[in-house]
Structures are given as C-alpha cells and as structure tokens.
Chains A and B, each alone.
Chain A
Amino acid sequence: MLKEILVLLTALAFGFVSAIAGIGGGSLLVPTLIVFYGVDVKTAIPIGVAVAVATSLAATRVYLEKGVVNVKLGLLLEIPSTAGAVLGSIIYQVIEVKILKLIMGFVFPVIAIYMLLSSRLKHRSREEDSIARKLELSGEYYDENLEREVKYKVSHSPLLIAGSFLAGTLSALLGIGGGVIKMPLMCIVGGIPIKAATATSSFMVGITAATSALVYFKEGFMEPSLTSIVIIGFILGATMGAKTQVKVKSLWIRLIFAGILLYASIRLILSSIGV
C-alpha cells in the first residue's frame, strides 16, 4: 500500500512539474518506476505507453480546439510511426530484459540532453519540398502571443517519415511517447514552428502509443492497478500544474529531471551487465 501511495505521489509530482515546465515528464516515469520503485522493466513499459496515450489525448484536445495541429502532416507521419510501433511491440515481446535495460541506458541520456536543450529549440524556415507541395502540407495557425496568423511550409518530408518510424519503434520498445524525436525533427529539419510541431507531435504520440498499448493490454502485460494509479496521478498533477499560475525556474526543473534520467540510465546499464 505504501508503494502505491508513493507511486501516486510521484506521478502527481511529475505531472504537475512537467505541466509547469512544459516538458514531457512521462518519459521520466518508466526509468523512475524501474530504478526507484523496483517495478519490473516489462511491467513499467506498458504503463509508460498508457500514460503517453492519456497525456497526449489531454493535450491534443486543447491543441485541436486552438487549431494548432497540422492534421494532414500528422496523418502522413502517423503511418510510419504506427508501423514503427508495430515493430517495437514485436521486439518487446521477444527481447531479453537485460538488452532492453541496456537500450534504455543509452537512449534516456539523449532524452536528458533534449530536456536541457529543448527550451533553446528554434525552428528554421525552409523551402517546401515536392511531397509537401503535392499534398498541401503547409499550415497556418493563430499565435496568441504574437497576436497574428503564422504561416509555415513543410520541408524534408522523407526525413520526417523516417524519423517518425524510429520514434514509433522507440515508443513501443521503451514506453515513451516519442515526442523527443518528433519535436526537434519537425522544428529543425521540417521547418515547422515550435507550437505547431508540439501540437502535431502530441496528436501523433497518442495514436502511436495506442498501437503498442492495445497489444500489451491484450497480452496481459499491463498491470491494471499500477497503471491506473499512475494515469490518475499524472493527469491530476498535469491538470493542477496547468491551472496553477506558479512561476518556477524552468531550468532547475530541467536540471533535476535530467539528473534523475542520467542516474537511472547509469543504474540500468550497470544492472544490465550484472553490476
């Protein structure tokens, strides 16, 4: 019972803080559950994808209302992303736990670095490519801060498609949303403004995560009690965080989150080699 309460409080805190700082705390949950709460790797991953579905849907609802999501681009990229998630869920079912821990140990530091640098992320306007032109993927949205319409063009579609496949595979394999790949890829390579990239990535994350989540649910990998505690905690925390007007130093939160991820990564690597 104590463990469940602590997991609930952790999920609540991660949801709250990630909403204030604007970072995806969901990817922190999986390593935290494994390293700090001793949850089995193959139990933690399905919890991670279920949380990714819940948080993505909650955010997508708001983004859709504001018209920031580039639905056409999202649908185009969702096909490779979903296919990647299929591959990831197949690998998950056959891969050894120690190899999975090793992969996590090397991928999570990359996420930690992304968390530290994401506030400096800037999109670069690029020339529209032929696929984007033919499919009319360019978009526009109303920016409330700038108080004007922002129009943008989509570039390097093949690279975005390949990146989405990788993001889908990692999402299913590691229990993360995959936004850590999609977001910077859309901004830097695709020339999409941060707000539109965040919204479109969020829209895609839920669909990709659902691909593997349904398989994990069907196969009985999803532990209902712990999954529901984490979902409730995270959603409540994120809702409270979004409504709170508390101003916090985002850099400190990013540093703490990155520190937890790095520590968990080292523990995962050491555990995978039997130290």
Chain B
Amino acid sequence: MKTSSLLKLVLTFSLILVALGLVSQYLMLSPTLTKVGILVLIVSPVVLLLKIALDMMLTRRYLFGILAIIAVLIILANLILS
C-alpha cells in the first residue's frame, strides 16, 4: 500500500469519527467518539513514520529507517514520561 493512500485512509477515518462525535455530542450523547477521532488523528503521524521506517528498511536505507524509528521512540517516550 502506498504511503499517501494509507495517510488518506487514516485521515478520512479520523475526520469521519470527529464529525460523528461532534454530532453525537450535540445529541447529548457521550463525547467518546470525538475523543477517539481526535486520538486517531493525532496518532496518524506515528503511523506515517512507521510506514516510512518499513519502506526505508525494505529498500535497504537503514539509516533513515532508524531515524524514523528514533522519532517514534521520542514521541512515545515523551508521552509515557509526561
């Protein structure tokens, strides 16, 4: 699967969730769907990095694959340690 197609899929999915969540909130339902939508959206760059890391490793550009993984690890470490 192409990186841009994966990005389109994740982005569309998250925006649909955000929009549905917004509607459900105004119908006095739980804000969970909105939160899940926002979470999927802000996790998308990590998915993008992992896909790029995989592509880089498969094309033997190991250094850039490792750089992508380091970026993911920094994001996760910041999240866990905050």
Inter-subunit contact A53/B44 (CB<8 Å)? yes
Does more than half of chain B's interface fall in helix, strand or loop, or is it mixed? helix
Complex formed: what's the CA distance from A211 to B74 in Å?
8
The chain B residue sitting closest to A213, CB to CB, is: B42
Contact of B42 among A62, A75, A217, A229 (CB under 8 A): A217
Between A and B, how many residue pairs show CB distances below 8 Å?
A: 127
Complex formed: what's the CA distance from A56 to B42 in Å?
11
Inter-subunit contact A53/B42 (CB<8 Å)? yes
Interface residue count on the B side (C-beta < 8 Å): 42
Contact of B45 among A75, A206, A235 (CB under 8 A): A206
Does more than half of chain A's interface fall in helix, strand or loop, or is it mixed? helix
Chain B residue numbers with a CB within 8 Å of A215 are: 78-79, 82
Inter-subunit contact B34/A225 (CB<8 Å)? yes
Inter-subunit contact B44/A57 (CB<8 Å)? yes
| Distance from A178 Cβ to chain B, minimum over Cβ atoms (Å) | 13
Chain B residue numbers with a CB within 8 Å of A50 are: 38, 41-42
Interface residue count on the A side (C-beta < 8 Å): 45
Contact of B74 among A60, A76, A86, A232 (CB under 8 A): A86
23 A-B pairs whose Cβ atoms sit less than 8 Å apart in the complex: A50-B38, A53-B45, A57-B7, A57-B48, A61-B4, A62-B4, A71-B64, A75-B52, A76-B64, A78-B71, A79-B67, A79-B74, A82-B75, A89-B82, A93-B82, A206-B44, A207-B48, A207-B75, A209-B42, A210-B44, A217-B38, A224-B35, A231-B38
- Residues in B lying within 8 Å of A, measured CB to CB: 2-4, 7-8, 10-11, 15, 18-19, 21-22, 25, 31, 34-35, 37-39, 41-46, 48-49, 52, 56, 61, 63-64, 67-68, 70-71, 74-75, 77-79, 82
Complex A-B, nearest 8 residue pairs according to Cβ-Cβ distance, in ascending order: A210-B45, A64-B4, A213-B42, A75-B67, A207-B45, A65-B4, A61-B7, A224-B34
